[in-house]
Structure 1
Amino acid sequence: METHPTKTVFVTGTDTDVGKTYVASLLARTLVGKCQRVGVYKPVASGCIPATIMMVDGQPELNPGQSGDSGGMVATDAFELWRAAGMPRRLDDVCPQRFALPVAPPAAAAAENREVDAKLLVDGAAKWRSGYDWLIVEGAGGFMSPLADGLLNIDLYRQLGQPKLLVVAANRLGTIHQSLATCLAAQQLGCEVSGLLLNAVQSTTDSSCTGNAEQIRRYSNVEFLGTVDYQQTTLPDNIIGAIEKWFA
């Protein structure tokens, strides 16, 4: 039987809290809805919480741990990705390295007298290389944020073979600079940005939101995919269609 390489998308952001997990989860959920087998991978996460997982109406829900709870540490971002993808493999495979302190992973690990395993960041992705039509990898923080001692998101992206790169930016004041700077830095360092989209991170907007997309298109040669509205449940057809064309 003919096999096809897994279509891999590396989702990064212009900053933290721009909605990478939200967008990556929308992508996973939309692809699953198209009968695609989707793997999801969050190589490392900080700000994890003690929690157990309950099944409610056939869907997993997190039960945050109380004082003395014996639940393990869970990365909420990884949990959302796993749920959106239909719970492939084990949650530990989605995010094999987890730390409690909500700071950059190397600092979070140091606070626990541990280190981020740089080799595992790469090796953990290998489990998703077969048996799936798509693999969605979500980095931690922005594209230039550190993941391990001496290793940034951009370095992991390269070690994973430079898959398709999706940049997520928050649709708010300041995003024009952050979007252009992120894409330009990536390109200057030899990385091809496949596409950029704006994400509404809250229900209320500022006056910049209506013009951000036009300005980004004007000053960037990166494919602008569109805007994701607040609390959407799937990706718009034009965005998912553009992403699928990357692999045509």
Structure 2
Amino acid sequence: MSGLFITATDTEVGKTVITGGLAGALREKGYNIGVFKPIQSGHKASDERGDAARLKVMSSVDDDVNAICPYSLDEPLAPQLALQRANKQVTVDQLLTHYYQFLEKYDSLLVEGAGGLAVPYTTDALLIETIKAFNLPLLIVARGTLGTVNHTLLTIEYARQHGVEVVGVILCHYDETQVERVLENKEMIEQYGHVKVLGMMPSLDSITMKDQLIEAVHRYINVEDISQFIKSKVGRNG
């Protein structure tokens, strides 16, 4: 398998923007990479406000949104609970089937989860158990603000306890006037988490166009390190 699984320390942290923007930036560099949102709750896949539709626009892939997100649910709940309330069952094996189908088209995929690692995800697994089944390394998106060191270190440790490789962290959603404090958070995460912070993305509220997002990704995220990591994995799996 090749690619990255992208998770966050919490919900509404910015992982969809990071996933879509990073995929768009990598595709511009010539990488044959796609995006995959296995389960989405809160919007149907076809809803333009939902993660799947936003990923499609930001990454510029030509896949149907129902392929990008094969399982979508109306209620904004933890996916496992939303599945229960919709009288549906989705297993990790079903998600892997869709993943393998996508890899027939792409060399690698950026796979976006939901919420944090301990979220009840499929009918039969937490998100961390799903990530382990996918056998993909993990990129963590975290807030740049107060509290992020604790949340991020706990997420890193929990992933490692389950045997999941952590590639790095991207800090997101902070006011640029607070950059000095965010840099202090970065240093502590790197020191105590023994992991590299690969980017610091400020609030993107003013960004409305895909080109603006990709420009910001190149400016604030170490795309080169991420691309080299993905390239090494593709070569190893090819």
Alpha-carbon deviations, 1:202-225, whole Å to 9, x = none?
Answer: 677598434211221221111221
Distance change in 2, residues 1:87/1:244 (3 Å): closer
- 8 Å CA contact 2:83–2:123 kept in 1: the answer is no
TM-score, length basis structure 1: 0.80
The residue type paired with residue 68 of structure 2 is V
Show the counterpart of 1:37: 32
Q: Distance in 1 between matches of 2:104 and 2:90?
A: 25
Q: Distance in 1 between matches of 2:175 and 2:124?
A: 34
Q: Distance in 1 between matches of 2:45 and 2:25?
A: 29
Show the counterpart of 2:200: 227
Q: Distance in 1 between matches of 2:164 and 2:85?
A: 32
Which residue of the other structure, out of 99, 107, 112, is the alignment partner of 1:138? Answer: 112
SS of 2:72's partner is coil
SS of 1:227's partner is strand
Identity percentage of aligned residues: 31
List alignment gaps of at least 5 residues for structure 1.
1-5, 53-61, 63-74
The residue type paired with residue 182 of structure 2 is C
SS of 2:115's partner is strand
RMSD: 2.3
Show the counterpart of 2:187: 214
Alpha-carbon deviations, 1:52-104, whole Å to 9, x = none?
Answer: 6xxxxxxxxx3xxxxxxxxxxxx711111111222332111100111111110
Show the counterpart of 2:99: 125
Q: CA deviation at 1:50?
A: 8.5
Q: Distance in 1 between matches of 2:45 and 2:120?
A: 24
TM-score, length basis structure 2: 0.84
Name whichever structure is richer in strand by fraction: 1
Name whichever structure is richer in helix by fraction: 2
Show the counterpart of 1:243: 226
Show the counterpart of 1:174: 147
The residue type paired with residue 25 of structure 2 is T
Distance change in 2, residues 1:241/1:200 (3 Å): same
Matches for 1:178-197 after TM superposition, within 5 Å: 178-197=151-170
Distance change in 2, residues 1:202/1:79 (3 Å): farther
Show the counterpart of 2:208: none
More divergent stretch after superposition (199-208 vs 235-244) = 199-208
SS of 1:89's partner is coil
Aligned residues: 221
Show the counterpart of 2:9: 14
Q: Distance in 1 between matches of 2:28 and 2:70?
A: 26
Distance change in 2, residues 1:202/1:148 (3 Å): farther
**Structure 1 residue ranges (4+ consecutive) displaced by more than 4 angstroms after TM superposition:** 49-52, 201-208
Q: CA deviation at 1:176?
A: 0.3
- 8 Å CA contact 2:21–2:58 kept in 1: the answer is yes
Please tell me whether residue 200 in structure 1 is matched to residue 173 in structure 2: yes
Distance change in 2, residues 1:51/1:202 (3 Å): farther
More divergent stretch after superposition (78-87 vs 111-120) = 111-120
More divergent stretch after superposition (137-146 vs 80-89) = 80-89
More divergent stretch after superposition (41-50 vs 113-122) = 113-122
Show the counterpart of 1:102: 76
Alpha-carbon deviations, 1:5-64, whole Å to 9, x = none?
Answer: x74111011111111101001111101211322211101010015966xxxxxxxxx3xx
